[in-house]
Structure 1
Amino acid sequence: MGMGGVVEGEMERRRLRDETLLVLGVSLGASGVSALISFVGSVTKPGGLEEQTATLNGSAAPGRPWLDLAWQLFGISTALVPVVLVAHFLVRERASLGVLGFDRRRPWFDLGWGAGVAAVIGSSGIAFYLAARGLGFNLTVVPEALPDVWWKYPVLVLSALQNAILEEVIVLGYLLRRLGQLGWTPVGALVGSSVLRGSYHLYQGIGGFIGNMVMGVVFVYLYRRWGRVGPLVVAHSLLDIGAFVGYALLAGKVDWLPTA
């Protein structure tokens, strides 16, 4: 390779690095920093972590349901802008979200395996959360605190879908692709992706960090095996729908579920 090729290659590498940092800076990287600050605030606050709460879907305009709905839909839609940005960057390299396996080519494969993964992780995830909270490593997570209005459950489902699409497209498909292009080893990329996933759940406590980091390792393995984020978007969606809607239906009605 001539000098021009070396310079051109280094410029492309720098472009990909900067692009990746910008995508993370307007999405889950920023969420990781926010979660860290929140965690520091929680551990330095008087009282144990289990006595504090982390609310995931709260009201944005208490007592004003239509305004609240507008804010909820605004938040969900704008949170997906980084996914559109990723799609734009992929188009620039003559690709699309399809190279990450986020398309409709294999719907039954995605739905079937996604449901299976959700079933396995869901049961173990609940047990891990309860144990971590009992040991004082986790805040009490309140998956939803929305008003009891007609749009409550549709918004919870949309919120779950948004979380799944954002996280799996960016932290799994896009990030692994870019880290590979930047020369990271497979193990290094796995660690980077999994630690990032754990970081933006740190606001829940040490349990939230560790549990999601472990889930990240499993998801990276499955993504590499299948070459598709589709099943993992489905799995993540079902896990969050189960958590959000399940909490709304069961909170205060069963003894084993901690509430605020």
Structure 2
Amino acid sequence: MAETFPERRLTRRTLRDETLLVLALSLGASGLSALISFIGSATAPGGLKDQAATLNASAAPGRPWLDLAWQLFGIASALVPVALVAHLLMREGESLRTLGFDRTRPWPDLGRGAAVAAVIGSTGIAFYLAARGLGFNLTVVPEALPDVWWKFPVLILSAVQNAVLEEVIVVGYLLRRLGQLGWTPGAALAASAVLRGSYHLYQGIGGFIGNMVMGVVFVWLYRRWGRVGPLVVAHSLLDIGAFVGYAVLAGRVDWLPTA
């Protein structure tokens, strides 16, 4: 028989500390890393647009099987904070379903997510090109993987991992915890949006502002729908479009900047 323990009410201090720990293990740490990276780019010789921010780079050049192992390890380990959030919710008698991350409404989630991705994707590309042209952004290189058989599956998995990690933690979990801590809806929205912008700061000022605006939209949609599912779909489609689109179009079209 499994040993049971008496339930204990979670104090504000416990909720605060666990929220800080979750962020320190995930996107809060990414925000600090992005800030340091941005300072390095801003103080380096030349303009921001002459420097590159590379995502999905090879981890073992010239050794495709080892590279694949590193890529899959990175994707899996990045999702550990989501498992931690699921555990912390289970302690309360809840689950990720509380945040609207489940398979109970697949078609509405897919439809809403696709519509959001279509709107944000088109405006996002235009904003990135304008910000880079004005010198506020680095040249973003969404992928630099070798041309091997696993390239596109890994890019898709990486996109889905980004979406699950960010939307579950930065929207669903963070808003729930901040609400439990007594934050006003406006303050919680601002915190979520600024956090989302912070870990994109490595891309430059444009990446920070663009993602902060996206964060405001996503929080509003989450509160309207009560589900992170559509946001995960939208984010996945946006990143798949960026990663796979760059792999297909880089060097073949004039309007897409390359490093």
TM-score of the pair, normalised by structure 1: 0.96
| Corresponding residue SS for 1:78 | helix
C-alpha deviation, 1:242, in angstroms:
0.1
Could you give the per-residue CA deviations for residues 62-111 of structure 1, whole angstroms, max 9, x where no partner exists?
A: 00000000000000000000000000000000000000000001000100
Aligned partners of 2:68, 2:183: CA distance in 1, in Å?
43
Aligned partners of 2:194, 2:242: CA distance in 1, in Å?
22
Aligned partners of 1:225, 1:119: CA distance in 2, in Å?
19
Aligned partners of 1:55, 1:172: CA distance in 2, in Å?
25
Pair 1:169-2:162 in alignment: no
Aligned partners of 2:152, 2:163: CA distance in 1, in Å?
17
Pair 1:214-2:209 in alignment: no
Q: Which residue of 2 aligns with 1:91?
A: 90
Could you give the per-residue CA deviations for residues 4-44 of structure 1, whole angstroms, max 9, x where no partner exists?
A: xxxx97x7000000000000000000000000000000000
Aligned partners of 2:227, 2:100: CA distance in 1, in Å?
4
Q: Which residue of 2 aligns with 1:146?
A: 145
Aligned partners of 2:252, 2:26: CA distance in 1, in Å?
36
Provide the identity percentage.
Answer: 83
Q: Which residue of 1 aligns with 2:198?
A: 199
| Corresponding residue SS for 1:141 | strand
Q: Which residue of 1 aligns with 2:5?
A: none
Q: Residue type matched to 2:242 in 1?
A: A
Pair 1:12-2:14 in alignment: no
C-alpha deviation, 1:240, in angstroms:
0.1
Equivalent positions of 1:224-243 (< 5 A) are 224-243=223-242
Q: Residue type matched to 2:153 in 1?
A: P
Pair 1:43-2:42 in alignment: yes
Where does the alignment leave 5 or more consecutive residues of structure 2 unmatched? 1-7
Aligned partners of 1:173, 1:181: CA distance in 2, in Å?
12
Pair 1:29-2:37 in alignment: no
Aligned residue pairs: how many?
A: 252
Q: Residue type matched to 1:27 in 2?
A: S
| Corresponding residue SS for 2:75 | helix
Q: Which residue of 2 aligns with 1:178?
A: 177
| Corresponding residue SS for 1:16 | helix
- Alpha carbon RMSD of aligned pairs, Å? 0.8
Q: Which residue of 2 aligns with 1:4?
A: none
C-alpha deviation, 1:212, in angstroms:
0.0
Aligned partners of 2:120, 2:46: CA distance in 1, in Å?
31
Aligned partners of 1:74, 1:111: CA distance in 2, in Å?
27
C-alpha deviation, 1:196, in angstroms:
0.1
C-alpha deviation, 1:45, in angstroms:
0.2
Aligned partners of 1:135, 1:121: CA distance in 2, in Å?
21
Aligned partners of 2:207, 2:64: CA distance in 1, in Å?
31
Q: Residue type matched to 1:98 in 2?
A: R
C-alpha deviation, 1:120, in angstroms:
0.3
Q: Residue type matched to 2:62 in 1?
A: G
| Corresponding residue SS for 1:54 | strand
Pair 1:55-2:69 in alignment: no
Could you give the per-residue CA deviations for residues 108-158 of structure 1, whole angstroms, max 9, x where no partner exists?
A: 010000000000000000000000000000000000000000000000000
Q: Residue type matched to 1:59 in 2?
A: S
Q: Which residue of 1 aligns with 2:125?
A: 126
| Corresponding residue SS for 2:140 | strand
Aligned partners of 2:107, 2:250: CA distance in 1, in Å?
33
Aligned partners of 1:111, 1:24: CA distance in 2, in Å?
28
Q: Residue type matched to 2:21 in 1?
A: L
Aligned partners of 2:251, 2:44: CA distance in 1, in Å?
26
TM-score of the pair, normalised by structure 2: 0.96
Could you give the per-residue CA deviations for residues 215-257 of structure 1, whole angstroms, max 9, x where no partner exists?
A: 0000000000000000000000000000000000000000000
Q: Residue type matched to 1:158 in 2?
A: L
